Structure 1
Amino acid sequence: MTVFHRNEKKEPLPAELQGGVVAIGNFDGVHRGHRSVLDRALELASQRGVPASVLTFEPHPRSVFKPDQPVFRLTPAPIRARLLEAMGFRSVIDYPFDREFAQRSAEDFVQSILVDWLKASAVVTGFDFHFGRGREGGPAYLIDAGKRSGFDVALVDAFRDENSDVISSSRIRTLLSEGDVTQAAGLLGYRYTVEAEVIGGEKLGRTLGYPTANMQLPPETELKAGIYAVRFRRPDGSLHDGVASYGRRPTVTDNGAPLLETFLFDFSGSLYGEICAVSFFGYLRPELKFDGLDPLVEQMKRDEEEARTLLAGVTPLGALDAKIAFDLQSGNQG
């Protein structure tokens, strides 16, 4: 898969990726609502025998206009790219979004990016997509521009869940802030997953018989503090079931930076320096302050037992979840 980053925006697109169908959007989360747009692009590309690409923007536009209020990203660019690749896209263009870009006219966006650079044969986006200075470009504008410039436009209506509620990234963020990773997974279509480097810690867990892989998540992460049943993926693709604590460790520290600490079941070895992923399967309990280490260890034993029971019965939510949080080829799920 080809991923074009910001410093490559002026490089010509490889010939084999030109003339394709382009899905446009931020696609933070690549959730079920997004996939109604993305699946339409893949369908059109297959019908026409041309490549399917995704045009998205980095950083998230809201982080540009409100830098003091950074967006809680459901899928940072690397995870988003892997999800899109798993769906079947040939390339992802992470186009640089800044205030200068936001001031470009809608006509400039169409001509310089869609026509001259991507040479798009078709564009697929949501029904409410707007672009260009002052959001001057909307669905009607895009359709007319396509007629003038020789590319087709497909607009996809908002996707609703089984209760007829619109699925959105903001809705999923709210669920995660409440610890409801189960309902969030239902809207995403896969288990919510984070990725970070395993870093050194205070090694207290090791002395208690529960060594953990520690990961620092972005400060804007709004995941509810607490204990979760998780699945842990190493860079080599191996999967391990586990139980994770996210929060500030009130029993042993006071107001430290939030940390994700994962205890991997039936595993021994060093993970330091590895970029690993953690998928969340269930919220077990809130973060608590115990009166000493002995009660903490007793609770950790109960957490482990509950997590093992929960994870023993999980099945993939769909093809994308199978690729993210399961290993169906080898049959190894932990």
Structure 2
Amino acid sequence: MFQTRHSVRLAGVATLAAAALLLAGCASSGGSSSGGGGSKNYAITFLPKNLGNAYFDTSDAGGKKAIAEFKGTYAEVGPATAAPDAQVSYINTLTQKQVGAIVLSADDQKAPCSAINQAQKAGVKVVTFDSDTAVGCRDLFINQATADGIAKVEVDMIAKQINDSGEIAILSAAANATNQNAWIDLMKKDLAANHPNIKLDDVVYGNDDDQTSFDKTAALLQTYPNLKGIISPTTVGIAAAARYISTSSYKGKVAVTGLGTPNQMKAYVKDGTVTAFALWNPGDLGYLAAYAAKALIDGTITGKEGDSFKAGTLGTFKVGKDGTVLLGDPFQFNAGNIDQFNF
């Protein structure tokens, strides 16, 4: 989930260079074997799908807060744009820097696995959050909500907003985003089983880029003139779709829902473009991921089912099947409650 910018090769080279400098700086200012945490290596680096993304800015800030609480060393690095193998070089560099843990939102289920396995062999703990890798190539996955729960809340919202009848489309992130694809598959099943009068016309991909998502929204509305609703299970996509519709003749006629953050969606809720949308608190997600990394570094848990650990102010969490820790259920935001939140 996600917000991108930037161009291709030169931007990638520049970002890699900047990442190397940042990591070198971290190593010289506390990212050593102690990582600022006494005898434990609490040098923990967050590696989101891409930088410059409001969602990951919030999640990683939650991680930074947690790491400060247990006196570790926080860093964040990442590619300018999300791509299947864009995170591999960062994982390799972090392994060479001997960080204590990498907290990763995976751009691809399999592409980073070889690099992750090398990191684990070097003693680096690897925690995924938001978007998982294959089960065998990380220590833990911090799941923001169950895939079933996310898919169901999105279908329920669009069904309510279009009176359970009409044509809809899905505006997703990248075509290979593992979390997005899992949710979309479940949405399709829910629609087929429980909403026979809703027709899913198309699934399109905005690549977690604001302008691309904006353009894809325009194209959907031109291609499907009877469209009544758009589900966007990505924070970039839902904001771009709402921005397009808010100043068009489709406002009030085409519903927009999905997953978004309160701050980015507040104006669209208040002007009537969006009735309701859902999300979890990404700050809590990053906070929980950081404490999970600490527990792995401490040896309090290994990632096996039944392990439990304390996550600061969030309380105690238990490791479930396949090394998964669940944050909680999605929350619906609307005009009645959106002013209570600031992220």
Larger radius of gyration: 1
Question: Smaller-chain TM-score range?
Answer: 0.3 to 0.5
Name the TM-score, length of structure 2 as normaliser: 0.33
